[in-house]
Each structure stands twice: as structure tokens, then as C-alpha cells.
Structure 1
Amino acid sequence: MSSDDVQTLTSQELYASQAQLIDEAAEALPHQFTSCTYPLGPLRQAVYLCLTCKLNDPDVQPKGICSACSVACHTDHEQLELFPKRDFRCDCPTTQAHRCTLYTALEPSNEGNKYGQNFRGLFCRCGRPYDAKKERETMIQCVGCEDWFHESCLNLRERPASRALSPVKQEDGDASDEEGSLPPPLISGEDYDALVCGSCVLEIPTLKRYAGTTGVMMVVRHSDAEPWKVIGQEEDGSAETNVEIDAKTAEAEGQTGSKRPREEGSADGSNKRLRGSPSAASESKPCLAPTPNPTAQKIYKCTSANGTDEGKKPSPSEPNFGTGDVFLTEGWRARWCKCPSCLPSLESRPYLLEEEDTYEPPEDPDSGLSLEELGMRALSRLPRERALDGIRAFNAMRDGLMDYLRPFAMEGRVVQEADVRAFFEAKKTENGEA
């Protein structure tokens, strides 16, 4: 290798490079990973699947580990991030083959954990395995089952013929095609707040009734020959469906008119009514849910009549009018009707009424500190005699390095990596190290 091929850095450039690396590390790992979440019990948290442990013991129930164990206990293992899962307890302390280093007691298996297909490395209704190095298509998580679905399997776009030319997921949830050959999805990530897959919708009567109405969008078609289209889109944010109520009910609700919005609240107090907790007075409330969309209900009826799995695409011999997935626009939790008929199926799934808290490890106070600052902090925690010995050793190494580098500065020579390595190898020899 010629001297022209060797990259040289000034001390200022080296310092700036190290500072950038420290900032990137602090941004990527800003938390402490010193405590397993097992003692906290079931909670919504980021979960990782250890593929190495799964491969070494394929006959054992798949295990999910918390973010702390993924860093501290399985650092050298291949892992697959499953993202947040609700009511999940870390399995690391229950594994005999690879013992948890953060929680040393061996615990029995977590009977309350639910292990869907994601814990076998499979995703979406198509059941394809996920490979972060090869998968290029955007995937969206269902707020209900928390599985992940390809945009093409949600009928938002045609499935790319080549995975290499598939869209890349961006931070804003949209996709961009490297070759520019794919059209944008029917519904972009900016147009909705949450996805509920068809399988989950069929289990929630209230959501099923709302499907295809304003703010609860669906991708549908009336025959296999027609293109996919979106129903339930908001029109300038002012679309409302009204329901007649009698004068007595209106007076009880503090209304003077004969109509009120069925979905959206208003400034005269209906917002408070929609968000109010259930009480005895709620029994007299009229149902404010919109009139069911006939196209959406037809899809759910056909799914049940055909005997296909809920929310999954029918076989090629059956008509495919849609998969029943719904895309909820911003503010959807505040728009539910909470009459005695609609509320129970929502209450049984609290995430439909209140945004969930997702556990995050505590902040790391050392995150973002330079190596010098970390060294000084560690030094301050040592006993006085040991701290003094450390300072003397550091000063001796610093002075020795300065003496070693002085000839380079005087002669204008560039310090190469090999020169630095030679200095430390000589120090090891002096100290009698192997």
C-alpha cells in the first residue's frame, strides 16, 4: 500500500470523529440495561426473540426477552426485534440452557405470556419469515394483535415482483421506492394513526360496526375485476352523520336542537359526554354509532360465510372484496359511542379507550459522556489510595507517549496506526505482560 492510500487525520478531526461516535451511541442506547424486567411482572414492553437460543434448542417453547437482557445476556446472539408486546413478562430468567445474568434465580415458565407466530419468526397473514437484511417492504403493526403486516397484504399496493425493488420504510411511516417504479400506497402513513387487522375487527362488535365509516377507513372493491379503493375517508375534516333524538333526551343532555353529531363531539358539551365514564345515567344515552357501512358489513359476512380464517385473504377460488382491515384516523379513541351497547366490547380492550404506556428502561446518567468524563467519574468512586495509584499510572503513560511522539512532531512525520501500536506493545513488554 502506498503512502497516498493511507488516510491521515489531524487531532482535531480525530476528536470530532470520537465526539460524533459518542453522540450516536448515546442516541441509540440512552438507557440503562442493568435490570431484567421480570420482577415488574407482565407489562407492555419492547420484546426480542433470541434466534441463537431458539436454534440451539428448537424443541423448547420460543422465548421473548426484554431490552435489558437482549443487551446484557444475549449480546453475542442473533436477535429479532418484535417491538412492543402487551402483558408480556421477560422469559430470560425461565431459561435453563442460557441463564439470565441480571436475574439469577431460575423461575418457572411464564404461563400468562402469549406466543403468536412472531415468536417463530413469522409475520403477517401471509406467514412469511422476516429477514431485516432482505425485507424491503413496509410493514405496519396492528394495534390489536400487535402482529406486523405488509402493505401489499393490506391491499395498499401491489406486491413487488422483486423484493429488491420493494419500498423502504421511512421514519414517517411512508415508503419510497429506490427505482421509482412503484406508485404510492392507497393510504399513506400520514393519513391514519392506527391499524386494526380484519381478524381483530371481527372480534370487536363496536369496531366492526364503525368499519368503513368516516375516520375508520377500509380498502375494498366490489368485484375481483375492479381496482382497490378507500372508503371512510374524511372530507375536509367536517363530515358528520346525524341521528334524530327526541326533545326530552335533548333537554336532558342540555341540547336545544333536534339533532346532534353521531361521531364528532361539539363545543356545547357533547365532547364531555362522549369521553365520560360509564354510569347509571349512561343507560339512557342514545347510541351515537354511525349507520353501518353496507360494503364493510358485506365483507365481514362473506368472510364468515366462506369459512376462511378471520381477517385472512380468501382462497383464489373465492371473491376477494377486502380483508376487513381498518385504518383509524387521528383522535379515534375520543370518537367512540359509549352507550350500553357499544361500550362493553371497547372496555374489554382498554387500549381502544386509553393510549397504553410502554415501559422503557431508566435513563443512563453516563449516556453521552466522553471517555475522559467516564474515566474521571470512575476514578472519583475509587478509594483514595487506588485513585492516586491510577493517576500516577495515567500520568506516566501520558508522559511516555508524549516523549515517543515528540520526534514525529519535530520531523513533521505523520503518526500511523502501526506507530501507536508499537508504543503500547513496548509498554506491555516493559511491564512483563504477555
Structure 2
Amino acid sequence: MSETLTEYLASQEELLQEAALALPHEFSKCTYSLGFIRQAVYLCLTCPEARGLCSACSIACHTDHDQIELFPKRNFRCDCPTTSIDHACALHKTLEEANTSNVYGQNFQAKFCRCGRPYDAKTESETMIQCLACEDWFHESCCNLRERPSSREGSPEPNPDRAAPVEGNIDDGSSEGSSGLPPALIPGSRYESFICGACVSNNATLVRWAGTPGIMMVTRDSITEPWRCLEDGTPAEPVDVDRLDDVEGLSIGTKRPLSPSDLDAPDAKRSRFSSPTFMPATKPHQCLAPRLNPTAQKIFAQLDSPADSSLGTGDLFLSEDFRRRWCRCALCLPPLEASQYLLEDEETYEPPEDPDLGLSLEELGMRALERIPRDKAIDGIMAFNGMRDDLVKYLRPFAEEGKVVCETDVREFFASLTEATKGRKHCS
């Protein structure tokens, strides 16, 4: 197959534009000096130390190494210029002490999800979603959002009664993708954030709000029943926090004790809201938390027993704008304040934009010449001019005879240049 010079130049321009879109940032400075920030972190599989790299070091210092992108991690400082990695940092020249405040979970062993399965982008067909709290990544089927694909038959499962793990990308919203899988039980378009059951169990307010409007869960009535979305639509009513202890059995935000009929009623019989209608309390003594969802509380009670978690994993799927809907009373707020990302959207560091973004190959070449010593720049220009003259001489017969220049012709030309260079070195 032949290609004209015009087509070749057009293809090179297209590749240049694709590269600019893929790497639009400048990667010339390690983020170590910025301290502990939320940033994209990479794990180098070639280096023996299980430590994290910033975006710049993953490109500038570990270019030829095998790496896994772990995506954003909060309160993380780049390990590349520290004593914890033997491979020298090319950007931060001062050798620093090891970062003692970094947290290295199972992701730094290239393991993900509650199933602990290694991630392989070449073989995975499912979507993975990141937990807002622990920032680990979870397969959709590990969250009971879909059945296990046939390619995952050999994966380990924490519980044989629960659907198995699966994988993908949080950005594609768990919708049907190129893999041909059907939509997930809760499509990504219905929720803004995901929190895994283990993290939910450690936060009293999250447990309290589980299964209420906008705080969806996945459950089933028994191990023989299909999985379904749990979201109680009971509206909230203001409750005086100071009087909660006066009512037997009343907990945070509960208006009244639930009757037996309320506890036994199927969730489908209770009204549901397409979007939550309650507003956060503005007074510390007034609680606006919805009443407890009995099914959700039963799931968490079951999770306390390692012998049985067949009704669900306790994961939460939080709908859009969930942060502004929390109750801010004296009981609901403290557990939320302990995890500020539940109250405020976090800023994730991004490297500065590449100043060379959008420049042509010729402009990039001129920029490169400006950055090297004058004598080396002159030698480079002279070498380029010599190669250009040789190429014109080589191509002239093709133009005179109307022949098409093929890839083999170009390879032959550069092979002759290589031989000529070797000959000159031998003579010297």
C-alpha cells in the first residue's frame, strides 16, 4: 500500500493532535513540593517498591516501566524522590525522607475491590466504580449491580451466595458499553457518588440515611430472589433533637417508632421520589433526617455477622447534589465533618497546561532548538540540512519518472544514512 507525501503529513498532524488530547499537561515538575494533596497516583510494577508516583514522575522518571493508574488518592505525596524508591527521580533532585503519612492500601499491591482481584485492562469487560471514601475500585457485580460475566467464572468471591465481581470505568456511568453488557441495576446516570459498605459501616450518619431518598442501595428479599434497588421515599419531618431520648426506641432523625406493619411492608408499597425533596436543617437542635429504612438497617445488622451477608453488601449510591441535602443537626453533622469529602467536593490537582500544546512539528522543533546550547543547535541544523539535501537527491529520480515513494523506499534511504554514519565513525 502506497501513501503520498501529503497523506503522510496529514497523518502525522492527526497523530500530533491525538497526542495533545491524550497528554494536554506539562510534566516537568514533581508534585512532592506541594505536600499531601489529592492527585492522580500511579503504581510502578517494574520497581520492586510498592509506592506511588505523581503524573509527572510516571512519565519523566518511569517512562519505560510497566505502570498501573490508581486514579486520584487524597492526602498523597509523591514517593519518587524519596528514600522509599531506589530509582532516582529525574525531576526532584534532592533525595527526601520516606513519606510516613501516605496510606498504601491493597491498590498498591495491584489488587482491587472486595474480591481482591488484580486489574487487567486487556481482559476486563465490566465497569469499575471508585469508592468516595476509601478510593478503592469495585467491580459492578461485586456490588450486585449485574451478573458475573462468563469471563469472570474463575474469580474469587467473599461469599458464595452473592453475585460476583466485575470491572470498568466510573466515567462511563455503568451503562451499556462496547462490551455488549446490559445496563447495570442502578445506571451511572442515577448516582453521583458511590461508597462501599465497609466505609458506610464506619459512619453513623451514612448508616442512618441508607436506603432513604437519594441514598440508594441494592438488596434482595432472599437468596432465591433477584437483586433490586432499595430507596425509601418517605419524606422528612423536623424533629427536636433534645427530645429524642424521651421517646422509647427513637433514634437520630426518627419521627416515631415504626409499627410492625411498617417493618413488614414491602418497599414497593411505600411511595418513592424521583429526587429527594427534603432540605437540610439549619438549626442544631432540629433533625431532618428521614426515618430509618428497616430493610437497610437489617442489611447492616447482618453485615455485623460474618456468617451471612446474603441480603446485600451495604454499598450506597448517592444521587446528584447529595452534599447539600444532609441534615446539619447536632447528631447528623459530626460524622459528616469527620469526612469532609461528604460535605464539600474535593479539588484534585492537575499539572499545568503544556505550553507547547497545539504547536506543529516545525514549531516544536524550533522550540527544542531554542532550549539547547548554541553550538549544539548549529550542529543539529547542519546535520538536518545535510539529511535534507541527501533526501532531495534520493527522491529526484522518483519525481522525474513519476514513481510513487513506498515505505520500503524510505526505509532504504535511512538505512543508507545509517551505513554512511558508521563509515564516517570508522574512518575517524
Correspondence 1:30-429 to 2 at 5 A: 30-54=24-48, 62-94=50-82, 95-163=84-152, 169=169, 172-176=172-176, 180=180, 182-232=181-231, 240-243=235-238, 264=277, 282-283=283-284, 285-304=285-304, 306=305, 308=306, 315=307, 318=308, 320-381=310-371, 390-427=380-417
**Aligned AA (1:302):** Q
SS at match of 2:75: strand
Correspondence 1:15-34 to 2 at 5 A: 15-34=9-28
Per-residue deviation, 1:69: 1.0
| CA distance in structure 2 between the aligned counterparts of 1:150 and 1:168, rounded to whole angstroms | 7
Shift in CA distance, 141/303, structure 1 to aligned 2, threshold 3 Å = same
| CA distance in structure 2 between the aligned counterparts of 1:170 and 1:43, rounded to whole angstroms | 21
Segments of structure 1 that go 5 or more residues without pairing to the other structure are: 1-6, 55-59, 246-262, 275-281, 309-314
Per-residue deviation, 1:422: 3.7
**Aligned AA (2:368):** A
Per-residue deviation, 1:390: 4.9
**Aligned AA (2:16):** I
Shift in CA distance, 28/179, structure 1 to aligned 2, threshold 3 Å = closer
**Aligned AA (2:87):** H
Per-residue deviation, 1:174: 2.6
**Aligned AA (2:89):** C
Q: For the Cα contact (< 8 Å) 1:25–1:368, is it kept in 2?
A: no
Question: Structure 1-normalised TM-score?
Answer: 0.80
Q: For the Cα contact (< 8 Å) 1:212–1:293, is it kept in 2?
A: yes
Provide Cα deviations, 1:364-407, integer angstroms capped at 9, x if missing partner.
Answer: 11123222111122334567776566555544433332232111
**Aligned AA (1:299):** I
**Aligned AA (1:212):** G
| CA distance in structure 2 between the aligned counterparts of 1:75 and 1:147, rounded to whole angstroms | 25
Shift in CA distance, 384/221, structure 1 to aligned 2, threshold 3 Å = closer
Per-residue deviation, 1:216: 0.3
**Aligned AA (1:21):** L
Structure 1 equivalent of residue 250 of structure 2: none
Question: Structure 2-normalised TM-score?
Answer: 0.81
| CA distance in structure 2 between the aligned counterparts of 1:106 and 1:131, rounded to whole angstroms | 33
SS at match of 2:43: strand
| CA distance in structure 1 between the aligned counterparts of 2:311 and 2:359, rounded to whole angstroms | 56
Q: Which moved more, 1:113-122 or 1:168-177?
A: 168-177
**Aligned AA (1:66):** C
Per-residue deviation, 1:227: 1.5
Provide Cα deviations, 1:90-130, integer angstroms capped at 9, x if missing partner.
Answer: 11112352121211222222110111111111111111111
Segments of structure 2 that go 5 or more residues without pairing to the other structure are: 154-165, 241-275
CA RMSD after TM alignment: 2.7
| CA distance in structure 1 between the aligned counterparts of 2:225 and 2:415, rounded to whole angstroms | 73
Identity %: 57
Q: State how many pairs are aligned.
A: 378
Provide Cα deviations, 1:23-55, integer angstroms capped at 9, x if missing partner.
Answer: 11111111111111111111111111111113x
